[in-house]
Amino acid sequence: MKKRLDSMELDFFLQQLITGLSNGMIIALIAIGYTMVYGIIELINFAHGDLFMLGSFLALTVLGVLGIDAWTGGGTWLGVLLLLLSSAAFCAGLNWSIERIAYRPLRASGKLSLLVSAIGASFILVNLGLFWGGLPLDVFAGGVAAAAPKDFPPLVPNTNLLGEDSLVQLTPKDLLVLGVTLPTMLALTWIVTRTRLGKAMRATAQNPVAARLMGIDTDRVIGATFLIGGALGGFASVIYALYNNTISFQMGYRAGMDAFTAAVLGGIGSMPGAVAGALVIGLVRAMSDGYLETRWTNTIVFGILVLILIFRPSGLLGSRAKEKV
């Protein structure tokens, strides 16, 4: 009897571990967008979470127009690829437009002006999502309840790859998260460390004035950073929707706060730190939901963040910067 209980406890722990890692990788895609923008222009882009929300609404709209409402076999993977590309392109273009219209004119006005502008952009995107949810499409329930959560079609099957008798659930959804997130992060790492654009991004982040003197078009580099960050948010929006099968116009706040917390926890401005922080947040949330009560999860997450900021303000993988006087 004791061995059976121990086995069940182990299975439950493994299940929470899988759930935490999957959600952590989704958070990581959003957190990297935060940390890239902060690393370049030291702006906390509060609109990034709501940009992620709009990406999921675009994906649902595409499904509604195409008439896809369930798993239909191997051809569905082409639909998933279409969703990933369309949402990434949409979020990248929208993020670039926000930077060009709202942020760039205020860049010389100080960080406070940029921060207020980012908060304003966030409110605009939230209300755009509320309006979008009222479109008269079947996937939006005919638009009669714009503020209500929307069901996202189950395009990815929820079958247990470990067998029906296994208490641990490992589904194609978990593999989808892994299969999209890891290659995306590897590609981004290659861009930042191996390409000319990546070198320009690192130079602009280190010293924008010196970068301009060396002939680097810093405005172009910043615009490219917003494009890449927006594309990552678009990827994350589709993966989140396929994994959870529910979206809402308010989901950007929760996802954005988790991603921002992960970026700060790992070391704001550090991409490896953002990934590490996101995995920690995902695991902490999963373990808290499983072993404690859901109502304590946010308290625990932000409690950990406070402790990190007190004892290691630079984050888990951030470097301690020395102020020049």
- Which contiguous run of DSSP H or E holds residue 165? none
Q: What's the DSSP call for residue 101?
A: I
Q: Taking a C-beta distance cutoff of 8 angstroms, is the pair 238, 59 a contact?
A: yes
Q: Is the pLDDT of residue 123 over 70?
A: yes
Which residue in 260, 286, 285, 283 sits closest to 273, CA to CA? 260
Per-residue pLDDT, averaged over 250-273, amounts to 88
Q: Report the distance separating Cα 17 and Cα 100, nearest Å.
A: 41
Closest CA to 185 of 12, 25, 4: 25
Q: What is the pTM of this model?
A: 0.91
What's the full length of the chain, in residues? 325
Segments in the chain forming alpha helices (H):
2-41, 48-66, 76-98, 111-132, 172-194, 196-206, 208-213, 218-244, 251-266, 271-291, 297-311
CA-CA distance, 320 to 256, in Å (whole number)? 25
pLDDT of residue 324: 42
| Inter-CA distances, 29 with 108, 203, 233, Å | 29, 23, 6
pLDDT of residue 66: 82
| Average pLDDT of the residues in 68-92 | 83
Q: Which two tokens stand for residue 316?
A: 């888990």
Q: How confident is the model at residue 64 (pLDDT cuts 50, 70, 90)?
A: confident
Share of the chain above pLDDT 70, in %: 94
Report pLDDT digits (tens) over 160-187: 888 888 888 999 999 999 999 999 989 9
Q: Where are the domains of the chain?
A: 25-252
pLDDT tier at 116 (50, 70, 90 boundaries)? very high
Tell me the two tokens of residue 107: 């860049």
Q: How confident is the model at residue 323 (pLDDT cuts 50, 70, 90)?
A: very low
